[in-house]
Amino acid sequence: MRALAIAAVVAATAPRAAADVPAVSADVVVPRPPPPPYALPFQLRPAAVADVVRSDTTIASYQGGTTVASTFLAAARITPSLAPLVRVAVVHDTPTSTSMSNPLLGLTWAAPLGAPLKLAVLGAVTIPVGSGGGNTPDPMRAAASKAGVPARAGMDNALFAVNDVAAIAGVDLAYVHGSFTVQGEVTLFQLTRVRGGDVQPDTRKTNSTAGLFVGWTAHPRLALGAELRYQRWLSTPAAVAADMTGATRDTLTAAIGVRTKIDLGGGRVLKPGLAFAHGLDDPLDKKGYEIVQVDLPFSF
């Protein structure tokens, strides 16, 4: 009897046979966790491609007037990582006039780096048909185009260089982890004059912009962000050479803002954003520029 009892205890405590272990079905798919939320920058480019239309308007008040500069963008993916785009701006400046910028045609490629990194590369060119160009420009429209440069914090100069063709190359790299997004951007512009030689002395100009964005997704429908924007002429255009103060060589601005997310169903999403920017150096600071940005990107 004692031997039988010992055998029973051993049998009860022994590992279960493989046949007794429930089989795991090969059809069971363990769901992957959703990717961390990407906080969309305000004036820097997205580090991604999408089917999107976007209206981005800045309202800049300065000593003696107000400039409203609205840019409009449309992009459509032809592959999951490649999207052509078109962009144009309309500027209304008080007390001058209203002008249309050069249109921009571009192609964005999003490199498949995988989490937590996002990388997007832009190649683009502008077409020199904007208002206020040529050898006999309308002075009011030319002044309005010029006013669009500071109203956009110096980040979209090529759009308003209405006598020039601009070849543009840029890269954006974002680190997305948890609820935080950190993104950097660098862009180079090579401008070549194709009209207006009687009024514009520069045949070629080289410009650059850079930016840093830090965003925090506080809630799935609410993100806060801060942005630092820097523009610098790498060549020395006549206007820069004539400025003994050196203030027109570069521009530095800072912005803070908030963005929400509205899911419209069917993969359609609206992400309205509102930001406030201020020039940190001259000439924007000296002229008292205060800039409000209203951004309306709609993806589908």
Q: What does the pLDDT read at residue 34?
A: 75
Does 6 have pLDDT greater than 80? no
Q: What does the pLDDT read at residue 8?
A: 45
Does 252 have pLDDT greater than 80? yes
Q: What does the pLDDT read at residue 279?
A: 96
Q: Which of 73, 71, 70, 72 is nearest to 59 (CA)?
A: 70
Does 4 have pLDDT greater than 80? no
Q: What does the pLDDT read at residue 9?
A: 42
| Total domains in the fold of the chain | 1
Weakest mean pLDDT among 7-16, 22-31, 190-199, 249-258? 7-16
Q: Is 20 helix (H, G, I), strand (E, B) or coil?
A: helix
Mean pLDDT, the chain, integer:
92
Q: What does the pLDDT read at residue 11?
A: 46
Residue 78, domain CATH: 2.40.160.40
Question: How confident is the model over 194-209, as pLDDT tens digits?
Answer: 999 999 999 999 999 9
Question: How confident is the model over 158-189, as pLDDT tens digits?
Answer: 999 999 999 999 999 999 999 999 999 999 99
Output the six-digit token pair for 195.
Answer: 């009209």
- Can you give the residue range of the structural domain that contains 60? 2-39+47-299
Does 3 have pLDDT greater than 50? no
Burial 149-182 (b: 16+ CB within 10 A, else e): bbbbbbbbbbbbbbbbbbebebbbbbebeeeebe
- Mean pLDDT value of segment 106-115: 94
pLDDT band with cut points at 50, 70 and 90 for residue 7? very low
Does 21 have pLDDT greater than 80? no
Dihedral angle over CA of 230, 69, 151, 154, nearest 10: 30
Does 10 have pLDDT greater than 60? no
Instruction: Identify which has the larger pLDDT, 100 or 27.
Output: 100
Q: What does the pLDDT read at residue 30?
A: 65
Query: What secondary structure does DSSP assign to 89-153, as a single string?
Result: EEEEEESS-EEEPPPEEEEEEEE---TTEEEEEEEEEE-S--TT-SSS--HHHHHHHHHHHHHTT
- Mean pLDDT value of segment 269-284: 97
Alpha-helical regions (H) of 152-199:
157-160
pTM for this predicted structure: 0.88
Q: What does the pLDDT read at residue 29?
A: 64
Question: How confident is the model over 23-74, as pLDDT tens digits?
Answer: 545 566 667 767 899 999 999 999 999 999 999 999 999 999 999 999 999 9
- Mean pLDDT value of segment 204-233: 98
Instruction: Identify which has the larger pLDDT, 26 or 135.
Output: 135
